[in-house]
């Protein structure tokens, strides 16, 4: 058994959390999964539950405890803003942890999940959308990530909201018909009774009621309907999303480098990706594009760095290969 | 003193309420103003306060009481959806009212504030945006009015959100510079300290924090910044708003008629109105456009109708002339 310090990299997301137990060379010794891990969206108590659950899984695999851990590195959205980290430190301490706790950006974890280069870009479009430029291994430029109300252009929320608006306009006859309407109505269990009041159908009233009774962010759940079948309205939404993501990236571009893609919106081929590359034009030639599934590898990479190591391409390769054994 | 029945028309809005005491010929005998009158946005208790305050003012002018009133006609947004009217009936009953209570649409009240024609259109763009087609004196077609999340395209909210997004993109350098940025930052008391973290300025972080800590609907308060000074970005927002309003109207257009305009967005000349008329094209020729300040006259007109009268152009003229004495 190694006498080297053991480290935990945590990829703490809005819906689930992953913990990677690694040594300083990037050899993964354990891996665990937990529930929601972001204190901003899930609340501190529940987020701590999710993180601790993932950590317990990773430690159990290797027969270790938190007392053996030198550094814990949770990577999460808004890590900078939530300066008070007691919500997690207290829970870790209860389980014997007395090492260092170093928070990192989820964007940086996404980046180092795909590249070890000190210069490059990460673009994550899941529920939200954000681009960062990495220089000397740190974020030195940010585009969008402004949230559903002010930005996140080209994100899953943005697409879902556009789907909802397009369906509402179809039913309202203020917009073109779209094949998305029937499946979206079915999604909310809405069936027409044929009743029309003041020129407005009961299904449109039902849709309005259904959507306003939920938190706005849940519109992101409608994004898949835009990808589901060929439709001119859906195609227009997806192409515009791709263009928005390209414009956000263009705002931080300063030369060639790796571009790590995270989130489901841009990870598959199709209209979003096509419009994204077309809009970037020649600038795309200098980018080495690679998609990552989540930020677990990068969180472990950042844990190695936080422990004083100098992780490089070999570390990334080791992490990628050894984490794969566990999932 | 007339032995005719006395009627109350109420224009109950999201920010203030107006009550008109009239006889069946449209002779205004009293006028009062109250606070917020819409139970959906203000809550039933507070909305009843606003309506009762306006009624008390109107009755006081004429030395009358609610026991003298045959019909009360509150016109308000969502009047159809909020089928349970006990929130107001109970309060009216406490003050001696035993007549009829007839709720009407705020759009119809806006329409009859400008026209007595049984066929025509009303377009209201204030915080929200909605168009109705009136036929035989009833609403038989509706466009938009789908609320801030799904529609209200070209409304004050829509413009305010576009202003917020444009300013955020300016500060984020993902969009063009705009003259609206400085006044909007000043509006929220945000001053730059020059601090930049991860390529993001402190004022942008401050703006994001300020806007997400308020209810989304308050973005409507930023709409005036688009009208404040000539600016290409603001101009683009206003022109698109005008085009959206024209498209919404076009969806219910079926022949020439009066077009009554309510709300502040389209009531003034400038880019919104220019783009609106340009987009309508030849269809604008058949429309007799007139702007109204609020729905008080139309609410009284509808009260006359609800009492069994047949209000016409003479009634409207009488209401318009006699209400003017009181305000």
| Chain A residues bordering chain B (beta-carbon distance below 8 Å) | 80-81, 105, 132-133, 138-144, 146-147, 149-151, 161, 164-165, 168-169, 172-174, 197-200, 205, 207-208, 211-212, 216, 219, 247-248, 251-252
Look up the CATH number of the domain holding residue A86: 3.30.420.40
For residue range A27-40, list pLDDT tens digits in order: 999 999 999 988 87
CA distance B199 to chain A (A): 4
Counting one residue from chain A and one from chain B, the pairs whose CB atoms sit within 8 A come to 105
Determine, yes or no, domain membership for A210. yes
Of B151, B173, B205, nearest to A168 by CB-CB distance is B151
Looking at the structure, tell me whether residues A289 and A302 fall in a common domain.
no
pLDDT at residue A294 above 50?
A: yes
Looking at the structure, tell me whether residues A131 and A189 fall in a common domain.
yes
Of B147, B169, B199, nearest to A212 by CB-CB distance is B147
CA distance A65 to chain B (A): 34
B147 contact residues in A (CB cutoff 8 A): 208, 212
Of B144, B198, B205, nearest to A139 by CB-CB distance is B198
Q: What is the pLDDT of residue A86?
A: 86
B103 contact residues in A (CB cutoff 8 A): none
| Cβ contact, residue pair A151, B142, below 8 Å | no
| Cβ contact, residue pair A174, B216, below 8 Å | no
Domain tally for chain B?
A: 2
Looking at residues A208-224, what average pLDDT do you find? 93
Contact A9, A17 (CB under 8 A): no
CB burial readout B40-64, b (16+ within 10 A) else e = ebbebeebbbbbbbbbbbbbeeeeb
B185 contact residues in A (CB cutoff 8 A): none
Looking at the structure, tell me whether residues A135 and A40 fall in a common domain.
no
> How is residue B144 written in tokens?
């938009």
User: What is the CB neighbour count within 10 angstroms for residue A186?
Assistant: 10
* pLDDT tens digit at each of 327 positions of chain B: 446 789 999 999 888 999 999 999 999 999 999 999 888 778 889 999 999 999 999 999 899 999 999 999 999 987 654 567 888 999 999 999 999 999 999 999 999 999 999 999 999 999 899 999 999 999 999 999 999 999 999 999 999 999 999 999 999 999 999 999 999 999 999 998 888 888 889 999 999 999 999 999 899 999 999 999 899 999 999 999 999 999 999 999 999 999 999 998 998 889 999 999 999 999 888 999 999 999 999 999 999 999 999 999 999 999 999 999 998
Between these two residues, A318 and A87, which has the higher pLDDT value?
Answer: A318
Distance, in Å, from the CA atom of A115 to the CA atom of A51, rounded to the nearest integer, reads: 25
Of A80, A146, A164, nearest to B172 by CB-CB distance is A146
pTM of the model: 0.90
| Cβ contact, residue pair B149, A216, below 8 Å | yes
Crossing angle of helices B232-250 and B271-280, in 10° steps, is: 40
pLDDT at residue A119 above 50?
A: yes
CA distance A121 to chain B (A): 13
Looking at the structure, tell me whether residues B149 and B274 fall in a common domain.
yes
Of B142, B149, B168, nearest to A199 by CB-CB distance is B142
User: Would you state the torsion angle of the CA atoms of residues A17, A23, A29, A31, taken in this order, to the nearest 10 degrees?
Assistant: 0
**Spatial strand order in the sheet of B257-262:** B138-144, B129-135, B120-125, B257-262, B287-291
Determine, yes or no, domain membership for B15. yes
| Cβ contact, residue pair B174, A144, below 8 Å | yes
Looking at the structure, tell me whether residues A288 and A303 fall in a common domain.
no
Q: What is the pLDDT of residue A1?
A: 47
Q: What is the pLDDT of residue B1?
A: 47
Q: What is the pLDDT of residue B283?
A: 87
Determine, yes or no, domain membership for B286. yes
Burial, B232: exposed, middle or buried (Cβ in 10 Å; 0-12, 13-18, 19+)?
Answer: exposed
Contact A75, A12 (CB under 8 A): yes
* Minimum Cα–Cα distance from B200: chain A residue: A142
CA distance A222 to chain B (A): 13
Q: What is the pLDDT of residue A79?
A: 65
List the domain range (segments joined by +) for residue A64: 6-102+295-324
Looking at the structure, tell me whether residues B13 and B80 fall in a common domain.
yes
| Cβ contact, residue pair A200, B142, below 8 Å | yes
ipTM: 0.88
Q: What is the pLDDT of residue B83?
A: 63
| Cβ contact, residue pair B161, A141, below 8 Å | no
Distance, in Å, from the CA atom of A250 to the CA atom of A242, rounded to the nearest integer, reads: 12
Determine, yes or no, domain membership for A107. no
B200 contact residues in A (CB cutoff 8 A): 142
| Cβ contact, residue pair A150, B80, below 8 Å | no
Looking at the structure, tell me whether residues B61 and B126 fall in a common domain.
no
| Cβ contact, residue pair A248, B165, below 8 Å | no
| Cβ contact, residue pair A142, B198, below 8 Å | yes
Determine, yes or no, domain membership for B261. yes
| Chosen from A123, A174, A181 to mutate, greatest number of chain B CBs within 10 A | A174
Determine, yes or no, domain membership for A143. yes
Q: What is the pLDDT of residue A38?
A: 85
Q: What is the pLDDT of residue A306?
A: 96
Report residue A158's pLDDT band, with 50, 70 and 90 as the boundaries: very high
Looking at the structure, tell me whether residues A53 and A132 fall in a common domain.
no
User: What is the CB neighbour count within 10 angstroms for residue A88?
Assistant: 25
| Cβ contact, residue pair B144, A219, below 8 Å | no
| Cβ contact, residue pair A144, B172, below 8 Å | yes
Looking at the structure, tell me whether residues B243 and B272 fall in a common domain.
yes
Looking at residues A137-151, what average pLDDT do you find? 94
Looking at residues A40-55, what average pLDDT do you find? 91
Looking at the structure, tell me whether residues B150 and B14 fall in a common domain.
no
Determine what percent of chain A is predicted with pLDDT higher than 70.
98
- For CA atoms A220, A222, A226, A231, the dihedral sign is negative
Determine, yes or no, domain membership for B74. yes
Distance, in Å, from the CA atom of A279 to the CA atom of A308, rounded to the nearest integer, reads: 40
Q: Average pLDDT over chain A, rounded to whole?
A: 93
Looking at the structure, tell me whether residues B253 and B172 fall in a common domain.
yes
User: What is the CB neighbour count within 10 angstroms for residue B194?
Assistant: 7
> How is residue B82 written in tokens?
């909020």
Looking at the structure, tell me whether residues A157 and A274 fall in a common domain.
yes
Helix (H) or strand (E) holding A163: helix A156-172
| Cβ contact, residue pair A150, B168, below 8 Å | yes
Determine, yes or no, domain membership for A110. no
């Amino acid at each position: 058994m190694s006498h080297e310090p053991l480290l935990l990299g945590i990829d703490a997301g809005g819906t689930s959390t992953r913990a990677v137990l690694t040594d300083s060379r990037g050899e993964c010794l354990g891996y665990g999964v937990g529930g929601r891990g972001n204190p901003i969206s899930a609340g501190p108590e529940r987020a701590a539950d999710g993180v601790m659950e993932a950590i317990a899984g990773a430690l159990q695999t290797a027969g270790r405890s938190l007392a053996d851990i030198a550094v814990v590195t949770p990577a999460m959205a808004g890590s900078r803003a939530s300066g008070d980290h007691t919500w997690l430190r207290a829970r870790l301490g209860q389980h014997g942890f007395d090492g260092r706790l170093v928070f990192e950006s989820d964007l940086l974890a996404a980046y180092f999940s795909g590249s070890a280069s000190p210069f490059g870009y990460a673009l994550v479009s899941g529920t939200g959308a954000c681009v960062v430029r990495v220089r000397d291994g740190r974020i030195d430029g940010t585009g969008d990530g402004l949230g559903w109300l002010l930005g996140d252009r080209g994100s899953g929320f943005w697409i879902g909201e556009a789907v909802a608006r397009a369906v509402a306009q179809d039913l309202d006859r203020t917009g073109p018909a779209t094949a998305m309407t029937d499946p979206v109505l079915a999604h909310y269990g809405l069936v027409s009774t044929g009743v029309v009041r003041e020129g407005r159908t009961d299904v449109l009233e039902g849709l309005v009621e259904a959507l306003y009774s939920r938190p706005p962010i849940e519109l992101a759940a409608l994004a898949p309907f835009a990808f589901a079948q060929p439709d001119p309205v859906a195609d227009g939404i997806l192409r515009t999303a791709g263009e928005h993501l390209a414009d956000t990236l263009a705002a931080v571009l300063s030369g060639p480098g790796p571009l790590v893609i995270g989130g489901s919106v841009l990870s598959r081929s199709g209209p979003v990706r096509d419009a994204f590359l077309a809009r970037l034009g020649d600038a795309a030639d200098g980018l080495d594009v690679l998609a990552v599934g989540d930020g677990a590898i990068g969180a472990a990479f950042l844990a190695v760095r936080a422990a004083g190591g100098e992780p490089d391409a070999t570390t990334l390769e080791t992490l990628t290969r050894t984490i794969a054994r566990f999932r």
